[in-house]
Amino acid sequence: MNHTSQGSAQDAHDRIPVLDVGPFLAGEPGAAVQLAEQIKRTCEDTGFLVIANHGVPQRLIDQAFAAAGDFFAQDEDRKMALRIGDQNIGYLPYGGQTMKTSTIEMANKPNYSESFYITVPDPDPAVQDVSEDLNKWPPAMPDFKATQVAYFQTMRALARRILPAFALALDLPEDYFAADFQGANCTVRLIQYAPQTGNEADLFGFAPHTDGSFITFLPRSKFPGLEVKTKDGTWIRPPDVPGAFVVNTGEMLARYSNDRFVPTPHRVVNRSGAIRHAMPFFFGPNRQKAVHCAPTCVSADNPPRYEPMSSAALIAVKDKTNFPHRRPGS
């Protein structure tokens, strides 16, 4: 593995702030402007922040993690019966994803992890019920569905409430993104990382990449592993705050912001000696909406870097490169 310089814990706290979003969520006067300024500063730097006092019950997070662990502990045959298909729903086994789109580091080996995707494939908000769509629920685990649906719906509600702060951070009206996020494209990806005991080159739990989402929410894992690459090339770990979420920007927000908020590369290396679980929640615009450069992010001297393109088209390009099962003829 390419051992790039590692930053200290103090570096992480300096570059990845811990933000109390409670006052904003409670509607306290001035809290929205204050949070937007904090988001603006970090998104122009690392693109990573940590949010505390977010209102998601720790009990629900723990239940979702436990359900994920139970799923991955099943026999391989049971998991493979739910194998992922062309809509990226269900189980992705080890070897199922190689980050070929990465421009950060060469990644020729598949991610050393397995995943399970839960999403809402229908973009119509009138029928957007994660419990009644095309998800592949394990029949031998009756509580799994209820737990993951509750977690999904809670995270979607939090993301919608946080969204206006990102609009304000770009000097836009707080409801600027509302129309594009009616029928938002949301996905929970349950991930199990095997422990990495060797020092094999080009082997990662998750290879260096940037997220294709607008923003991503990541609950605190039991074991460390996430590393963030700063602009000076140093890899740092986000502050470890019990009960908090790491939030990072993605490629959709980069397009809306005309690269004002550029997504930061990150990777996962599991040196804990134990199995590690993660549950990123990806939040993006409706698949049919055209992702475009916002008016406050363009000018005569700073023209749009991107042509408008639907969220679905952007996702398809990346998926067909990184997932063998999404390629024609596979």
Q: What is the pLDDT of residues 20-53, one digit of tens each?
A: 999 999 999 999 999 999 999 999 999 999 999 9
Please tell me the number of Cα atoms within 13 Å of 210 on its side-chain side.
22
3 in a structural domain:
no
The structure's pTM equals 0.88
CATH number for the domain spanning 242: value is 2.60.120.330
115 in a structural domain:
yes
Q: Specify the number of domains making up the chain.
A: 1
The reported pLDDT for the residue numbered 13 is: 66
2 in a structural domain:
no
Express each pLDDT in 48-62 by its tens digit.
Answer: 999 999 999 999 999
The reported pLDDT for the residue numbered 52 is: 98
Task: Give the three-class secondary structure for 312.
Answer: helix
The reported pLDDT for the residue numbered 73 is: 96
Residue 326 has pLDDT above 80, yes or no: no
Task: Give the three-class secondary structure for 233.
Answer: coil
Residue 99 has pLDDT above 70, yes or no: no
143 in a structural domain:
yes
- How far apart (Å, rounded) are the C-alpha atoms in residues 170 and 256? 9
121 in a structural domain:
yes
Residue 97 has pLDDT above 70, yes or no: no
- 3-state secondary structure string across 160-172: HHHHHHHHHHCCC
211 in a structural domain:
yes
96 in a structural domain:
yes
Express each pLDDT in 218-235 by its tens digit.
Answer: 999 999 999 999 989 999
The reported pLDDT for the residue numbered 1 is: 41
Please tell me the number of Cα atoms within 13 Å of 109 on its side-chain side.
12
294 in a structural domain:
yes
Name the residue range of residue 291's domain: 9-326
Cβ atoms of 169 and 19 closer than 8 Å: no
